[in-house]
Structure 1
Amino acid sequence: MSSPFAATTLIGESFVGAGANAAHTNIVIGRKGGPVETAWATALATPSAGHVPFMTVVRPSVPVKPLTLFVNKAAAGSELHQRATWGAAQAGLAQGVLDAVEEGLLPAEAADDLLIIAAVWVNPEVDDLDVSFRNQRAAGCGAVRAAVTGSPTVADIHDAAKDGPANPFYTPSAEALTR
């Protein structure tokens, strides 16, 4: 069986929680020297207003490994939203990546050769930093798991969509689903 890390790029997604403290994380994993490294460095070097990619750290001056770039999907607004984004969600993502290494999803011996880009949603209405942390931890590890295992499968997707698509922001009516 070949390693999933033989591929140039692995992509995963995870949504954990509900309401204002939910976490939605998209992950791209790749080896240094490949297209993910180019994207990682480019994103770090080209921030835009409200969206400043930064290295995820376990503690100040201790980046998580594999090196993980945190890209916020929502511009940090209120003081609590800023603390949730740069504090709780970042710490949750760092712990989620550490969990993935501890579970063997990311091989520890390859940690220095891999890079992760994580696009992270922190709701501007977030109201509980501990719940935000827990949800981001689970979403970070879950997105890595999805990337490494190639899930969901096409069959999983068709099964989940049997009643139509839905997300926390919109569920189409039966009438909208008719062709």
Structure 2
Amino acid sequence: MTFASTTLIGEAFVGEGANAAHTNVVLGRRGGPVEAAWATALATPSAGHVPFVTVLRPSVPVQPPTLFVPKAAAHTEVHRRATWGAAQAGLAQGVTDAVEAGDLPADETGALLLIAAIWVDAGVDDLDEAFANQRAAAARAIRAAVEGTPTAADVLEAARQGAANPFYTPPPEAVAR
């Protein structure tokens, strides 16, 4: 079977507070639905949400080609530097880490495309921490996509503890069945 013969989806959240990273990835092969989504997203930016090709360094796009899709419009100078600088560099390094770890086969990176939807909190205040969190989140999201985790059993087990996220945790009586 060819690696990523179907669309793979992964998610990861790393860190705490304003410097945390939340990353969603969609991975697929050129010639498939991910390619259509990749090209469409790149060709149809909207105000504040301009997708761009992720580069390890200027003129060195990561492999597989990765589209950075910001989930939040960057309004302040620090938020812009965090989004287009630290988070983009973290995503680039995280994708490269996934290739080095074997989660993405190096010999197939040219046949693959990756879309990464990236959250950078408007209150970000530490570019180095934002970079490190994004790097880890990118690598973890890719690994989750490749491994197909979490499984339905994992989700059902987590549901026993109730829904929660860094922005809201419902009261226990709302979770009880």
Structure-1-length-normalised TM-score: 0.96
Kept in 1, the 8 Å contact 2:28–2:34? The answer is yes
CA distance in 1, matches of 2:150, 2:176: 25
Residue deviations 1:103-124 (CA, integer Å, cap 9, x gap): 0000000010000000000000
Once the two structures are superposed, residues 69-107 of structure 1 have per-residue CA deviations (whole angstroms, 9 ceiling, x without a partner) of 000000011000000000000000000000000000000
**2:162 partner SS:** coil
Letter in 1 for 2:90: G
2:120 to 96, 119, 122: 122
Moved over 3 A (4+): none
Contact residue 12 and residue 147 of structure 1 kept, 8 A? yes
Structure 2 unpaired stretches of 5+: none
Alignment length, in residue pairs?
177
Equivalent residue, structure 2, for 1:20? 18
Alignment of 1:101 onto 2:94? no
Is the partner of 2:10 in helix, strand or coil? strand
* Matching residue's letter, 1:166: A
Inter-partner Cα distance in structure 1 for 2:162 and 2:10: 21
Residue of structure 1 in register with 2:156 after alignment: 158
Between the aligned partners of 1:38 and 1:5, the Cα distance in structure 2 is 16
CA RMSD of aligned residues (A): 1.0
- Aligned identity (percent) is 69
Q: Secondary structure at the match of 1:111?
A: helix
Match 2:83 to one of 70, 82, 85 = 85
SS in structure 2 of the partner of residue 70 of structure 1: strand
> Which residue is 1:167 aligned to?
165
> d(CA) in 1 for partners of 2:18 and 2:156?
28
CA distance in 2, matches of 1:177, 1:104: 39
Residue 4 of structure 1 contacts residue 148 of structure 1 at CA under 8 Å; is this kept in 2? no
Trace 1:2-21 onto structure 2 (pairs within 5 A): 2=1, 4-7=3-6, 9-21=7-19
**Whole-angstrom distance in 1 between the partners of 2:139 and 2:2:** 18
The equivalent residue for 1:73 is 71
Give unpaired runs (5+ residues) of structure 1.
Answer: none
